[in-house]
Amino acid sequence: MTDFIILFFITFSAALLGVVPPGLINITAAKISTQKGKINGVIFSVGASLIVLIQAFIAVLISKYLYKNREVIDTLLKVALVIFILLGIYFFIIAKKKKEKRIRMVKVSKKSSFFKGIFLATLNVLPIPYFAGLNALWNVSGLMEFTVSYIIIFVLAAGLGTFAMLYMYVFYFDKSQSSSGKFSKHSDYILSVLMLVLVIITLIRIFFK
């Protein structure tokens, strides 16, 4: 039982810290919260976190041969590179179109926020190598075994840690109307610049292994 508690705590912490830097998912969660209400932000976060559960499970499956089969990670990075470029262009175009428009609260289906969280989290494949690396590290350190119980604890901790940080993003940007309005106005530009940064980081990871 103690081993499970330790594994859950360190994986939860690693997943939470992994979402601290501004990224596609947490910035979008904050944007939805400021534009459509914090409930929609939470629903979006739930959808995204469910995909993280699947990604964490996939990470467990590939962690055994992660470093022996480098082409797996290389393929994921190349796919991510294309996705980030397309998303960067998309958010920039959206930001230009919204330049002269006043941002206001709109009524949006909670279901649409949920599926948007699923969609964007599915596009964001970088958590897979991140959790695969963590899983391999825990295994080498003796904290993780490839049994059903350990895998369930690892996957749940990864998903809950991600949701916890997204939840904080949702409510942090929803506290002040003035700061929320400013953030909402420039959020698409922020996302566009963020995609550019992710493109650069991904290129570095591809060419400087």
pLDDT category at 156 given cuts 50, 70, 90 is very high
pLDDT at 105 over 50: no
* For range 161-184, the mean pLDDT: 70
Instruction: List Cα–Cα distances, 162 to 15, 16, 48, 55, in angstroms.
Output: 5, 5, 9, 12
**pLDDT of 16-58, one tens digit each?**
887 877 778 888 898 888 888 889 999 999 999 999 999 999 9
Which amino acid does the sequence have at 4? F
Residue 56 and residue 49 in contact, taking contact as beta carbons nearer than 8 Å:
no
Distance CA 73, CA 202 (A): 11
Length of the chain: 209
Find the range with the poorest average confidence among 50-54, 115-119, 138-142, 174-178.
Answer: 174-178
Distance CA 95, CA 33 (A): 17
* For range 144-173, the mean pLDDT: 90
Percent of the chain residues past pLDDT 90, beyond the cut = 24
* Max avg pLDDT among 19-33, 110-124, 180-194: 110-124
Radius of gyration of the chain (CA): 18
Find the range with the poorest average confidence among 59-73, 113-127, 176-190.
Answer: 176-190
pLDDT at 100 over 50: no
pLDDT category at 117 given cuts 50, 70, 90 is very high
Name the DSSP class of 101.
S
More confident call, 71 vs 147: 147
Distance CA 18, CA 7 (A): 16
pLDDT at 137 over 80: no
